[in-house]
Amino acid sequence: MGEKRWCAIPAEDVFSLIGSDQDGLSDQEASIRLARDGYNEVTSKKEHGPIYRFLKQFASPLIYLLLIAAVITLFLGKYADAVVIVLVVLANAIIGFIQEGKAQNALESLAKLLVPEARVLRDGVSKVLPSRELVVGDVVLLESGDRVPADLRLFYVKNLRADEAILTGESLPVEKNASAIDSDCVSYGDQKNVSFAGTLISQGQGRGIVVATGNDTQIGRISKFIRESKEISTPLLRKMARLSLILSVVIVAIATLTFAVGLLQGYDTVEVFMASVSLAVAAIPEGLPAVITISMAIGVNRMAARNTIIRTVPAVETLGSATVICTDKTGTLTRNQMTVTQVYAAGKTYTITGTGYSPEGDFLLDEIKVDPLQDKALVETLKAGVLCNDASFKGTDNIDGDPTEGALLVSGLKAGKFHIPRKDVVPFEPEQRFMATLHEKEDGSRIIYVKGSPETVLDMCVSQFDGNYLVPVDTEGIMQAAEQMASEALRVLAMAYRDVPKDVAGIEAEDIGDLVFVGLQGMMDPPRDDVMEAIAKCKTAGIRVIMITGDHLKTASAIAKKIGIESSGALSGGDMEKMSDEHLSEKLDYVSVFARTSPEDKLRIVKLLQKKGEVVAVTGDGINDAPALKTADIGIAMGQTGTEVAKEASDMVLADDHFSSIVAAIEEGRDVYSKIQKIILWTLPTNGGQGLSIVIAVLLGITLPLVPLQILWLNTVTAIGLGVPITMEPKERGILKRPPRPPKESILVPLIKRRIIFVSLLIVAGAYLTFFLKMGRDGDLTAARTVALNTIVFFQIFYLFNSKSMYEYVYKDLLSNKYMLLGIGIVVLLQLLITYNGALNSIFSTAPLLAVDWLMIIAVSSTVFFLIELEKYLYKKHYIS
């Protein structure tokens, strides 16, 4: 079937060849075809297997150095040392392999949450299905903002244009039609009656029958070039890789210098060589990027649990420094469940009771219940709202379609049922601000109904229906009524009509004019229950919230005031057009409500905020929001109401469309960055202390406090048992009470630099102190080295508790991380094992210790905990109070 040139076959013949019709397939037939043909999916690039990923862990200059050292020590007869070096290499490879696998699996599982959907007809009933379940013969409904889910032969179009740049390279949208093309040898770009999978609908509406799915689609045949998976790489990881490289080069240079100085000092060649290798192993944080990757993957999973799906991993980092959120109103700050509460017709304002999408309620005039069918102008206003409408009523509180249209449909149903067959439509487009439909009455005459913004509709009206006659349009009275509704936070739409001759078969946007105004409908979309608390949290977190909406200025201002968005006045799109960038930039300092805006206005606001140094998050759901979503530092698409275009332009998707989920994601983003800082805060000082203990001994020509094999053991055991559990640290309290992180902030903030120096020196001093005290008391070099080894381990354990927070005291949360406690327990048991096991004593040059030795070790190593907590106190007193 996929080899046919469907563009050359008339639509009715296509249906016959495929075995379908304009009402689509039955669910039963679709299931049969799905089982036969498989899912509508393109075969993706084969991922590397586990063997490749494991071997990749050895592709590191440090690992090469260790393997060379293992070979040399083997030839020198140091078999135990060679075995331990190989075990260190294997341990690092296993850790990296496991962590990379976890990170990759986390991201893949989250990608599956973003399943594209398509609206299809099955047995004539419209339903939304995952795109992967489409089969040849399905009828797909298309509208502006959709991504085409399969190759379709179009049989109905209305102002349909498609962006086919992904396939043809054409930058301009292509106008589509439904007519068969004479030639059967045309290029893709000339197939005007076919919509190809992966292309975007930029305007209008259409219907098409699926003629190819999955690998049989045109885009499927070249998908291997455009669907290759992305590597897990972020700005932070690249910074960490550079930092690790710099550290590696510096430390290898120091190790080389240490080796040279050691030879001059008279050390045994093999011993000083092994000491230099141990120095490199101890000081280089080779596992740091892997631990950071798994930390970010865990954060991404936690965000998903809070209804935020991260599409690009860098968004996790950026979230921690967001300073401004530019948000839509409808559906994000509000419930997106509109209810018409007021109708203005023939100079009278009616109140309608009832909420949500239940078609139950009364019409009140001056608080007295009235029969709506007795006022002809009111009836025409309600009828226009019902007929000029693409929504459908599916039962109480269940609307299929746009919430605004759903509200108009329900308001009409509260008065009665209105139905006149539709013949044509001019779909709503943001640029024109109205929708029009053509209907045929029972007597064969035809009528156009129009709905849209009051300003737009009134500009097209030449008269007004007062319930009995056509009279001149009372523009001033109508606009006053509209502004009054808007001041009460109602969204206002105007209704109009025009009788046309029987021979009018279709309508275009330019045909709409000479209308008769009938009335206004004002609807309320109440704020979500949790939005006020979320905005208050933003304020505490130093994040400013700006509302950018297409609603009326007064409606937007009223909602903003109600939910706690602080703004000195409000600006409309018209106001912005008159302003220079400099003037508007000044206004952005204190104006946080923008109404009646276009997509260009939204993009302009985002760019000006970024120019002022703000880190901007932007929400959007439509195709016109894509430029702003792409330009923003964090593009946030709506998961429920958002178009595929908006989702693909975004960095993250809100599964529930709630504003509070953005705040939750920012909290998680800050937590991820906080954990990364803690990992660095613990790793670099402890590695520095291990390495420095070797350098000092060699440079001063004194006895090494540790033998090389002990350093290799120390580095491996603590990296696994103490380093990895930091990624599981619970979220700190008050993380949203801190100001946003400066986007250009260095990874090594001044506090971390101070800690590296202070803790490294403290570890070295403590290790040498216990080493010489034991030597002075017993004169046993092996026991003294065992004391120094355990001193460094316990220094790392106590400092691990300090690292639970950079700035806050940790005494209340010492037991909050069960993984950390488990890791500490395992490390302590291993230390006891190599201290008291005879076989391991001979391998690692250790000796059993006395109880007094352990008291000395604990007393000395615990000083780091108290000194760092004291430093936090002094920092708070000096910098914060």
Contact between 823 and 725 under an 8 Å Cβ cutoff? The reply is: yes
Task: Give the integer Cα–Cα distance in Å for 197 and 184.
Answer: 20
Contact between 699 and 678 under an 8 Å Cβ cutoff? The reply is: no
Of the candidates 51, 56, 112, 107, the one whose C-alpha atom is nearest the C-alpha of residue 234 is 107
Q: Among 146, 151, 328, 625, which one carries the catalytic annotation?
A: 328
Pairing of strands 515-524, 461-465: parallel
SS3 (DSSP) at 250? helix
Contact between 19 and 137 under an 8 Å Cβ cutoff? The reply is: yes
Task: Give the integer Cα–Cα distance in Å for 875 and 749.
Answer: 14
Q: How far is CA 773 from CA 8, 708, 746, 770, 795, in A?
A: 94, 21, 41, 5, 17
How many CB atoms within 10 Å of residue 382?
Answer: 32
Of the candidates 417, 452, 403, 412, the one whose C-alpha atom is nearest the C-alpha of residue 432 is 452
* Interaxial angle between packed helices 781-802 and 659-700, expressed in degrees from 0 to 180 and rounded to the nearest 10: 160
Q: Which helix (H) or strand (E) holds 208?
A: strand 200-212
Residue whose tokens read 């989702």: 647
Of the candidates 389, 453, 399, the one whose C-alpha atom is nearest the C-alpha of residue 422 is 389
SS3 (DSSP) at 531? helix
Residue 328 among the catalytic residues? yes
| Dihedral class, residue 356 (left if φ above 0, else alpha if ψ from -120 to 50, else beta) | left
- Listed in sequence order, the residues at least 6 apart from 207 whose beta carbon sits closer than 8 Å to its beta carbon are 22, 139, 140, 141, 142, 154, 155, 156, 157
| Dihedral class, residue 223 (left if φ above 0, else alpha if ψ from -120 to 50, else beta) | alpha
Residue type, 307: N
CA-CA-CA-CA dihedral for 635, 636, 641, 644, to nearest 10: 40
- Listed in sequence order, the residues at least 6 apart from 442 whose beta carbon sits closer than 8 Å to its beta carbon are none
SS3 (DSSP) at 825? helix
Contact between 731 and 667 under an 8 Å Cβ cutoff? The reply is: yes
Residue count (the chain): 881
- In sequence order, the β-bridge partners of residue 434 are 452
Q: What share of the chain is helix, strand, coil (3-state, %, to 5)?
A: 50, 15, 30
Q: Which helix (H) or strand (E) holds 157?
A: strand 151-163
Pairing of strands 117-122, 125-130: antiparallel
Of the candidates 153, 150, 154, 174, the one whose C-alpha atom is nearest the C-alpha of residue 163 is 174
Q: How far is CA 136 from CA 201, 491, 588, in A?
A: 20, 42, 52
Pairing of strands 422-426, 461-465: unpaired
Q: How far is CA 57 from CA 230, 247, 684, in A?
A: 19, 19, 21
- Listed in sequence order, the residues at least 6 apart from 20 whose beta carbon sits closer than 8 Å to its beta carbon are 137, 138, 139, 209
Contact between 625 and 602 under an 8 Å Cβ cutoff? The reply is: yes
Pairing of strands 544-548, 324-327: parallel
Catalytic residues: 328
